[in-house]
Chains A and B, each alone.
Chain A
Amino acid sequence: MSTEVKVPQVRKNDARQNDVRGNDVPRSDVQHTAPKGVKLPIYMDNHATTPMDPRVLEEMLPFFMEKFGNAASRNHSFGWAGEEGVETARERVAKLVGATTKEIIFTSGATESDNLAIKGVAEMYREKGNHIITAVTEHKAVLDTCKRLEKYGYRVTYLPVQKDGLVNLDDLKRAMDDKTILVTIMAANNEIGVLQPVAEVGKLCRERGIIFHTDATQAVGKVPVDVNTQNIDVMSISAHKMYGPKGVGALYVRRKSPRVQISAIIDGGGHERGMRSGTLNVPGIVGLGKACAIASEEMAQESCKLAGLRNRLRDRIMGRLDEVYLNGSGEHRLPGNLNISFAYVEGESLLMGINDIAVSSGSACTSATLEPSYVLKALGTGDDLAHSSIRFGLGRFNTEAEVDYVADRVIETVERLRELSPLYEMAKEGINLKDVKWAGE
């Protein structure tokens, strides 16, 4: 006897089914009607990048045409105008993180900042030691930089993380030795939004005279970051994760107690106190400055709003679907981050079903390497659940109506795909999937 499962059929966009000649027109996607006040597609991938705030663009515009001068041109008004824009930005960045202006170096973004911090410290303190400590859930900009240094004779310890995604401070203490010159631990994770105990890590480093770098790309502008109270020595900052332009970032380098020195990795005209040569990206830097100024003003309020939206999304989805798992700590987390796994549903097929919503997945199928997310694996999430994960990144411009629409679409698609899933069927029959001998293993 055969049973036909009714899989809800997706409505097609009738308008595009036939062209004027009555031929079938290739259909690239299926269309859903947006509720009132919601414009499709919805962007909810704010850890990948954020849309620019219109106030940032407004601030930048004069620096393309009127104030185009090279900030390093010291002898005419064109140069002075550029320099003024850069120095205002430097003050704004410094203010947001509790630094002084002389401690801010502008770069092309967080990847360059991470490279400069890690390679710059490694080279400068080579005489003192060759050991670096980081964590397995760091961004590739940190991990791959550390891997390269291993080729040059540095020793790197990759700390594991706990089930909640946080590093264990005892593990860190145990890993430190008299050759340790640098600890690099991120402030907030880009996939699971987990906030590391930065102040405590910094304190342990300070006590032992070890330099502490943090990749704060996802944290700055979202949660309070203060280089002094959190004992940070070197810190990477990105503009485009906080409603600023792409291609610009900054590196904080502590000047006092202790004074940190780094070797340059880009040689040239000696810009940025010799730490980063190259003509300054004045409009970009101005944009980063404005983004920081807005964050200084609005972060407290905005993070409350985002946490509210994120919790609403979480509660709606988890209220309607069973076997949905939160990845990473619920408590130590960026307000706009929700990373959850939908058991028995593969992430890429879920993304396909919600193609009017921009989110990302830890599924192997969405990565270039065909490996599921190394961050989720590090938490001890099984590969099966890593394949089923979706990252929602809420941001400044998301609304409650969007959250409700996204929740409904996710629920409907997961239910549809579970009806299609042999794993869901087996689980419902009481088969323990862990006991099955899979042919593909």
Chain B
Amino acid sequence: MSYSDKVLDHYSNPRNVGSMDKSSADVGTGLVGAPECGDVMKLQIKVNRDTNVIEDAKFKTFGCGSAIASSSLATEWVKGKTVDEALSIKNMDIVKELSLPPVKIHCSVLAEDAIRAAIGDWKKKQQTAQPVTAEAK
């Protein structure tokens, strides 16, 4: 199987590799996949609570080159978007951008899941954090 140049580029020079403090209130963490399935993605976002803009994103991925590329691309795409805009990223956009073959579509699905999981985690934190701020007022 040959890889597209974009997959090779993300694999060789992955963007935004790293970790953020997952206990921080403005950080959302998504951990999707399973080791038994051969793919695990961790995607983290740091959101500005006033603007809802994703100011930073980091990832780490266990998986094939296409999985690494899909999550690397996902971090690039979510950065600078609002949370709602980021939710509109679809797996097929990733498939198109990276020219993934049919057998690798599940990698893009996982990347979309990771974005949703990270945003979901962040939103949950905002709900639980709200009453505390209300009381403080």
Looking at the assembled complex, report how far the CB atom of B85 sits from the nearest CB atom of chain A, in whole angstroms.
21
A422 close to B117 (CB less than 8 A): no
| Count of CB-CB pairs between chains A and B under 8 Å | 125
Question: Does B36 lie within 8 Å of A352, measured CB to CB?
Answer: no
Complex Cα spacing A29 to B39, Å: 23
Q: Are B5 and A27 in contact (CB under 8 A)?
A: yes
Taken together as a complex, chains A and B put the C-alpha atoms of A127 and B71 apart, in Å, by 60
Is B14 located at the chain interface by the 8 A CB criterion?
yes
Task: Mark A9-20 against chain B: 1 for CB-CB distance below 8 A, else 0.
Answer: 110100000000
Interface size, chain B (Cβ < 8 Å): 42
**Which residue of chain A has its CB nearest to the CB of B32?**
A439
Q: Report the minimal beta-carbon distance from A388 to chain B, rounded to whole angstroms.
A: 9
Which size bracket describes the interface of A in this complex?
35 or more
Residues of B contacting A30 in the complex (Cβ-Cβ under 8 angstroms): 8, 12
In angstroms, Cα B63 to Cα A26, docked, is 24
**B38 contacts partner chain A, Cβ-Cβ < 8 Å:** yes
Q: Are B18 and A5 in contact (CB under 8 A)?
A: yes
Interface residues of A in 1-35 (CB under 8 A from B): 1-5, 7, 9-10, 12, 26-30
Judged by a CB distance under 8 angstroms, whether A423 is at the interface is yes
Contact of B60 among A1, A2, A28, A422 (CB under 8 A): A422
Chain A residues, Cβ within 8 Å of B113: 439
Interface flags for A117-141 (1: CB within 8 Å of B; 0: not) read 0000000000000000000000000
- List B contacts of A10 (CB < 8 A): 12-13
Of the candidates A4, A9, A28, A423, the one whose C-beta lies within 8 Å of that of B2 is A28
Contact A363 B38 (CB under 8 A): yes
- The residue of chain B having its C-beta at the shortest distance from the C-beta of A433 within the complex is B35
B33: CB under 8 A from chain A?
A: yes
- Interface 9-mer from A250-258, A264-272, A343-351: A343-351
Contact of B20 with A by CB under 8 A: yes
Residues of A within 8 Å of B17, CB to CB, are 4-5, 7, 419-420
Shortest beta-carbon distance from B95 to chain A in Å: 16
* Chain B residues positioned under 8 Å from A62 (CB to CB): none
Q: Which residue of B24, B32, B63 contacts A346 across the interface (Cβ within 8 Å)? A: B63
A365 — which chain B residues lie within 8 A by C-beta? Answer: 38, 64
Q: What residues of chain A lie closer than 8 Å to B67, measured between beta carbons?
A: 346, 349
Which residues of B sit under 8 angstroms from A382, Cβ to Cβ? 35-36
Contact in complex: B12, A348 (CB < 8 Å): no
Cα–Cα, bound, A383→B24 (Å): 33
The 3 closest A-B pairs by CB, nearest first: A438-B34, A384-B35, A422-B42
Beyond the given A5-B18, A5-B60, please list 14 additional residue pairs across the A-B interface where CB-CB is below 8 A.
A7-B17, A349-B67, A352-B11, A352-B64, A363-B38, A383-B35, A420-B60, A420-B61, A420-B62, A421-B62, A422-B31, A422-B61, A433-B35, A440-B40
